[in-house]
Amino acid sequence: MASVPHYFLLVLVFLDSHVAQPSCLPGCACSEESFGRTLKCVSISLGEIPRNLSEEFKQVRIEHSPVFELPRGFFINMHTLEYLWLNFDNVTVIHPGALEHLSELKELRLEGNKLRSVPWTAFRATPLLRILDLKHNRIDALPELALQFLVNLTYLDLSSNRLTVVSKNVFLNWPAYQKHRQSGHEAEILSSMVLALHDNPWLCDCRLRGLVQFIKSISLPVILVNPHLMCRGPLFKAGQLFHETELSVCTKPQISTPSANVSVQVGQNVTLRCLAQASPSPTIAWTYPLSTWREFDVLTSFTAEDATLSELVIPAAHLVDRGNYTCMASNSIGMSTVVISLRVQPAQALLAPRSVFSPSESSAYVDLRVVKQTVHGILLEWFVAADTPETWFTLYIASDEAFRKKVVHVGPGINTYTVDDLLPGTKYEICLSLGGQPPRQGRCVVFVTGRDDGGLEGRERLLHTTVILCAVLLAVPVGAYAWAAQAPCSCRGWGQRWCLHRRKAPRCPQAVPEHRDDPYRDHTAVCEDGLGPGGAEPEGDEQRAGEGDDHRGGLAWTSSP
């Protein structure tokens, strides 16, 4: 009978031991290793690490599973965890308190995630951490005190990230390295310090000078996994090894120009130049009075390792282009500027006797553009530089669906006008002139509204610019696209050749292509309907814009000849 109680005692002990074993997560595997119990989850859908993991786990491996984030408090019950592997889990964010309660953690591996930065102060909670693997992430910066709380760290892998410039102080502040320097004896270091920095896009300019010197001076017990660190940029250093390159100290830009005073005649091309010498290479920008309206090409080239040449190209200089042009060079050390004075002299030739334009009209600069779209229209804006500032303006609005042109007279001081109620599938041409003069070539915008069958969502997909024969494809409401004529381009001759005949545009003849295989034969030409330099000044009854047009904040009236 004594054996019966003994038998029940064994059963109770057996059941108690099984109840004490923590259950595994669905889809994961649990095992007993020499160092303790292990949880391994590979390629499962977690979304986040479960909060109810057992505190008896010594190692947790969750790999190739979408985790995305390590928030605060996830490891609150895992005080004994020593090995945490979260490789290839798409981890993007680590909360500064995510590692709290992991005081026994010795190894943290986060390979192949999407980390752009690491909260280095979080390692204050892991004083025993020896191995930190961060390779194949997107880390692009390291603060100088990044390693200050990793007092026992002996292995750091930052390879295959996006590091370009790192201070040598990051590693001089490494507690294990400081111990070695203070002791002065390699024998007192119990283990080597392994560092991996290869396969980063290192930018070898003056800012990396300290790190390059540190790498050159590395000796035991510090070991580089790959000692052949290579420069990715700038151009003069690309492909060089750290051990081969010599970097200069950083300097503020020193800027100069071949000529501080430039004079040209109207219509001539002119190029303004400035040369900046600095390390690191400076960023060069130009400022001038009409930079908002007059955008010029800027060419940048490197004449030497620390010398950058910037050229501002002004084609066909106008009187409005005269003034001071400032070339500004800046880098992380400082900024320098140089001012170039441009003088544009008027042409000496006299006006032709038959010219229909007054001297003020021919010398004025006019820029007309579409600046905004509305649900059923567009907003026009113009800039005019003329000898007489108190100038009236005239807008000529024509379409291929209207028999008569609409004329809008705008008072001085106004530079915007809204064109509403645009029709779908219609070509419009809007020209601007000074006073009552006929519109001149290059002062017009020409656009074609698309068919109204795509809705607003369909129109959004066509917000792009593409040059097509004398025209720019723009997005305009009431359809899908619009052609806006470029100022220096003349479309009259091309329109007469290619424009298709329309019933309500009798001045636009049938197109007869010279080549049947021309790729543009199916396009409707942007035709001028008597609005060119030869067009007559409009006549007809005028009415105030307030009665027929809604023009905000300006004095304007319209007429339809």
Instruction: For residue 286, give the CATH number of its domain.
Output: 2.60.40.10
| Residue 21 is assigned to a structural domain of this protein | no
Give the separation between CA 180 and CA 164, rounded to whole angstroms: 27
DSSP 472: E
Which stretch of DSSP H or E encloses residue 364? none
Quick check: is 555 in a domain?
no
CA distance 325 to 287: 6
For the record, the structure tokens of 231 come out as 């420069």
Question: Which pLDDT does position 388 carry in this prediction?
Answer: 66
Q: Cα separation of 395 and 379, whole Å? A: 13
Asked if residue 421 has pLDDT above 70, the reply is: yes
pLDDT category at 146 given cuts 50, 70, 90 is very high
Residues 385 and 295 in one domain: no
If asked whether residues 218 and 338 sit together in one domain, one would say no
SS3 226: coil
Q: Which of 395, 430, 449 is the last residue of a domain?
A: 449
Q: What is the pLDDT of residue 505?
A: 36
463 within a domain of the structure (yes/no): no
State whether 372 and 431 are in the same domain. Answer: yes
| Cis peptide leading into residue 561 (ω within 30°) | no
Burial class (CB in 10 A: 0-12, 13-18, 19+), 199: middle
Interval 387-404 mean pLDDT: 78
**The total number of structural domains that make up the chain:** 3
| Neighbour tally for 530: CB within 10 Å | 14
Domain end among 345, 374, 400: 345
Tell me the per-residue pLDDT of 444-466, one tens digit each, with 9 for 90 and over.
888 888 776 554 444 433 333 22
Confirm if 262 and 272 have CB atoms less than 8 A apart: yes
Q: Which residue has the higher pLDDT, 297 or 549?
A: 297
Same domain, 310 and 397: no
Q: Global pTM?
A: 0.62
If asked whether residues 341 and 373 sit together in one domain, one would say no
Regarding whether 324 and 217 lie in a shared domain, the answer is no
- Check whether residue 327 and residue 390 sit in a common domain: no
Please indicate, yes or no, if residue 258 is contained in any of the structural domains.
yes
| 90-139 residue pLDDT tens | 999 999 999 988 999 999 999 999 999 999 999 999 999 999 999 999 99
**pLDDT > 90 fraction of the chain, expressed in percent and rounded:** 36
Q: Are 56 and 80 in contact (CB under 8 A)?
A: yes
Domain-terminating residue out of 345, 380, 401: 345
pLDDT tens-digit readout, 185-201: 544 444 688 999 999 99
- Quickly tell me which residue has 């507690």 as its tokens: 175
* Res 352 pLDDT > 60: no
Question: Is 145 found in the same domain as 286?
Answer: no
SS3 assignment for 501-540: CECCECCCCCCCCCCCCCCCCCCCCCCCCCCCCCCCCCCC
pLDDT band at 8, cuts 50/70/90?
A: very low
> Which domain, by its residues, includes 280?
251-345
Task: Give the model's confidence band at 361: pLDDT under 50 very low, under 70 low, under 90 confident, else very high.
Answer: low
Q: Is residue 109 helix, strand or coil?
A: strand
Residue that wins the pLDDT comparison between 557 and 252:
252
Would you say residue 536 lies in a domain? no
Q: Are residues 216 and 287 in the same domain?
A: no
Residue 500 included in any domain: no
Same domain, 90 and 174: yes
Average pLDDT over residues 547-560: 42
Unique residue bearing structure tokens 């609150």: 76
The CATH code of the domain that includes 143 is: 3.80.10.10
Amino acid at 72: R
Q: What are the pLDDT digits (tens) for 303-313?
A: 888 899 999 99
Looking at the domain assignment, is residue 14 inside a domain? no
In a domain, 267, yes or no: yes
For residue range 466-497, what is the model confidence (pLDDT) as tens digits? 222 333 334 444 333 333 433 333 334 333 43
pLDDT of residue 519: 34
Which of left, alpha, beta for 540 (phi over 0: left; psi -120 to 50: alpha)?
left
Least confident of 70-74, 125-129, 533-537: 533-537
> Mean pLDDT across the chain, nearest whole number?
75
- pLDDT class of 442 with cuts at 50, 70, 90: low
Residues 329-333 have a mean pLDDT of 93
pLDDT recorded at residue 314? 93
The pLDDT score that the predictor gives to residue 468 is 29
Same domain, yes or no: 34 and 169: yes
- The neighbouring-strand residues paired with 389 are none
Alpha carbons 163 and 208: distance in angstroms, whole number: 11
**Cα(447)–Cα(465) distance, rounded to whole angstroms?**
13
- pLDDT at residue 17 greater than cutoff 60: no
When pLDDT is cut at 50, 70 and 90, the band that residue 558 belongs to is very low
Same domain, 301 and 392: no
pLDDT category at 215 given cuts 50, 70, 90 is very high
pLDDT at 554 over 60: no
